Amino acid sequence: MAKISMIVNGNPVTANVDPRMLLVQFLRENLRLTGTHVGCDTSQCGACVVHLDGRAVKSCTTLAVMADGHEVKTIEGLAADGAPLHPMQEAFREHHGLQCGFCTPGMIMTAVDIVHRKGNDLTDEVIREELEGNLCRCTGYQNIVASIAAGAKAMAKSDLA
């Protein structure tokens, strides 16, 4: 077993884990943060995307021990419970950026990362290119792209990062 400590959604957590535990398992099974999903076993779908030290990563391809000492943000950490949604979440709701919703947490965490790296004015082309690592089996992407463009603009006027 290995002792790990990290900040998850602003809260310090400490645990003893088997070194082979994936970060996504740790988040879902130990911390009960089940918003982060697993959609594949080939590291390609992006349903598991969380932020590690502020950068989008695939938590299904990261060992929990490798996040030791670092900061993790999941979909649950974007906006406080009961508070208004994060502007990117709100944009997905507003623009029908989801159908079954399985890919959505990963899409939104990726989208927020895109805004952090590329700014608030995103062309469709940039969004599509940046969504390379996120698959959706429902929407056909059109509304996801529209949601991200709108969410990016809304983030400029919001206090939520």
Partner 1 sequence: MYEFKYHRPGTVRQAANLLAKNEDAKVIAGGHTLVPVMKQRLASPPHLVDLSHIEGLNEIEMKGRALVIGATATHFEVANSPTVGEAIPALAELAGMIGDPAVRHRGTIGGSLANNDPTADYPAAVMALGATIVTNKRRLKPEEYFQGLFSTALEPDEIITKVLFPLPKKAAYVKFRNQASRYALVGVFVAKRPSDVRVAVTGAGSNGVFRLESFEEALKKRFSHKVLDGLTVAAEGLNSDIHGSAEYRAHLIAVLARRAVEAATAKE
Ligand X SMILES: Cc1cc2nc3c(=O)[nH]c(=O)nc-3n(C[C@H](O)[C@H](O)[C@H](O)COP(=O)(O)OP(=O)(O)OC[C@H]3O[C@@H](n4cnc5c(N)ncnc54)[C@H](O)[C@@H]3O)c2cc1C
Q: Which residues bind ligand FES (CB under 6 A)?
A: 38-40, 43-48, 58, 60, 98-104, 136-139
Residue 137 interacts with which of partner 1, ligand X, ligand FES, none, CB < 5 to 8 Å by class: ligand FES
18 lies in the binding site for partner 1 (CB under 8 A): yes
Out of 43, 120, 123, 142, point to the residue binding ligand X (CB under 6 A): 43
- 8 A C-beta contact, residue 84 and residue 64: no
Contact 155, 115 (CB under 8 A): yes
Applying CB under 8 A, which of residues 22, 47, 149, 155 lies at the interface with partner 1?
22
Sort residue 42 into left (φ over 0), alpha (ψ -120 to 50) or beta: alpha
Q: Which of 30, 44, 99, 143 binds ligand X (CB under 6 A)?
A: 44
Residue in 107, 105, 95 with CA at minimum distance from that of residue 153 = 95
154 binds, among ligand X, ligand FES, partner 1, none (CB under 5 to 8 A by kind): none
Radius of gyration over every alpha carbon of the chain, rounded to an integer in angstroms = 15
> Shortest approach of ligand FES to residue 136 CB, angstroms?
3
What DSSP element (H or E) covers 29? Answer: none
